[in-house]
């Protein structure tokens, strides 16, 4: 079985129907473009926002796209969308940390109960494989968004334990994806466009620097190679937020100030993708790490894991503080690969 490579998708998708929950977001648009090049039979986009669905339909103009308006909180709407589906990418979530801090029950309804609805519907409809998309904030969580995503992971693992391979359930966990909605890079670009100071919460914060294509590669890897209950983590470098701001100023020759405004509710100084406890059951697969679930036995007396170390992770696990740190020159080179940065730079230069 071939592993999906960047820019194209494996023949695994030929003639298949794939459902993407929360499919009108940055990930959904990018993975849809990849899937439509693979000979897929149909891509079902399930989301709440009919305007974004309309825009997405106009962008792709492909009869293989099917749009379903619904909410993961509503099991009936998911069941309707799940008919005839072979694979599921579950990306629907409340992702903004401050929003989830102020409205934690809304995060519970969507990120935990909604995910349970998707998983149960997939099992009922005999879907072959489901990949749930998680986040670094689920790793040793300190905020409501991370806590609900961590519980989503636990729901997936518990359900995978009971399926005996009939529906393969697995997950991915990755950090902030560069230039996706709500991330810091487009926020800084918008501030420069408005002639405002670049506001950051804490200059010493580190964040993983991962491209959208990297996230798609990881999810497609999980779909093709995933085993029940396993969570896959991509290896990624990191940078400080102060360096991100400084490099963006350099790229756009911006003379505005950089201003620290204080940490927002629920923010971490450093993010983690693998905890010190999880590293005991983590396997290094060169480009990715695999976190093996504690036990695949339903007998609670056997619920333990002795650990089988196949990596060289630090004692504290895998974090944005101990991964490879990007220099400013390397960070600049990376940011200039982003099509959004190149487009904005061309716009500025044409003025």
Q: Which of 95, 137, 149, 268 is catalytic?
A: 137
Whole-angstrom Cα distance, residue 16 to residue 40? 5
* Cα–chain center distance at 272: 14
Q: What is the DSSP letter of 281?
A: G
Q: Is 285 helix (H, G, I), strand (E, B) or coil?
A: strand
Whole-angstrom Cα distance, residue 240 to residue 246? 10
End-to-end Cα, the chain, rounded Å: 50
Measured N-to-C along each axis, helices 212-225 and 26-36 cross at an angle, to the nearest 10 degrees, of 60
* Cα–chain center distance at 26: 10
Q: Is 202 helix (H, G, I), strand (E, B) or coil?
A: coil
Q: Residue 229 phi/psi, 5° resolution?
A: 80, -5
Q: Is 237 helix (H, G, I), strand (E, B) or coil?
A: coil
Of 207, 141, 153, 142, the residue nearest 177 (C-alpha): 207
Whole-angstrom Cα distance, residue 177 to residue 120? 28
Active site includes 137? yes
Measured N-to-C along each axis, helices 184-193 and 339-350 cross at an angle, to the nearest 10 degrees, of 10
Residues annotated catalytic, as ranges:
137
């Amino acid at each position: 079985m071939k592993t999906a490579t960047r820019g194209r998708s494996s023949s695994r998708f030929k003639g298949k129907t794939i459902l993407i929950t929360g499919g009108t977001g940055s990930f959904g648009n990018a993975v849809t473009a990849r899937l439509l090049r693979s000979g897929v039979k149909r891509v079902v986009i399930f989301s709440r926002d009919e305007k974004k669905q309309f825009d997405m339909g106009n962008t792709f103009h492909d009869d293989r796209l099917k749009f379903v308006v619904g909410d993961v909180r509503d099991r009936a709407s998911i069941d309707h969308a799940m008919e005839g589906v072979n694979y599921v990418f579950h990306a629907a979530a409340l992702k903004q940390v401050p929003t989830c801090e102020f409205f934690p029950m809304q995060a519970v309804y969507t990120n935990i109960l909604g995910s349970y609805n998707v998983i149960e519907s997939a099992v009922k409809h005999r879907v072959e494989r489901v990949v749930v998309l998680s986040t670094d904030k689920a790793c040793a969580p300190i905020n409501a968004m991370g806590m609900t995503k961590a519980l989503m992971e636990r729901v997936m693992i518990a359900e995978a334990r009971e399926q005996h391979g009939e529906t393969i359930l697995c997950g991915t966990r990755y950090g902030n994806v560069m230039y996706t909605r709500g991330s810091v890079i487009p926020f800084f670009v918008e501030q420069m466009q408005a002639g405002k100071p670049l506001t950051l919460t804490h200059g010493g914060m580190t964040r993983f620097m991962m491209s959208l294509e990297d996230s798609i590669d990881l999810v497609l890897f999980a779909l093709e190679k995933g085993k029940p209950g396993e969570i896959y983590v991509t290896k990624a470098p990191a940078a400080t937020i102060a360096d991100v701001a400084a490099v963006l100023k350099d790229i756009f020759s911006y003379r505005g100030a950089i201003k620290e405004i204080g940490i927002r509710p629920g923010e971490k100084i450093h993010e983690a993708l693998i905890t010190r406890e999880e590293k005991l059951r983590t396997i290094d697969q060169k480009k990715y790490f695999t976190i093996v679930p504690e036990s695949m036995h339903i007998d609670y007396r056997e619920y333990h894991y002795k650990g089988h170390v196949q990596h060289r992770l630090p004692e504290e696990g895998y974090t944005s503080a101990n991964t490879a740190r990007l220099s400013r020159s390397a960070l600049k080179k990376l940011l200039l690969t982003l099509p959004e940065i190149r487009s904005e730079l061309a716009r500025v230069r044409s003025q």
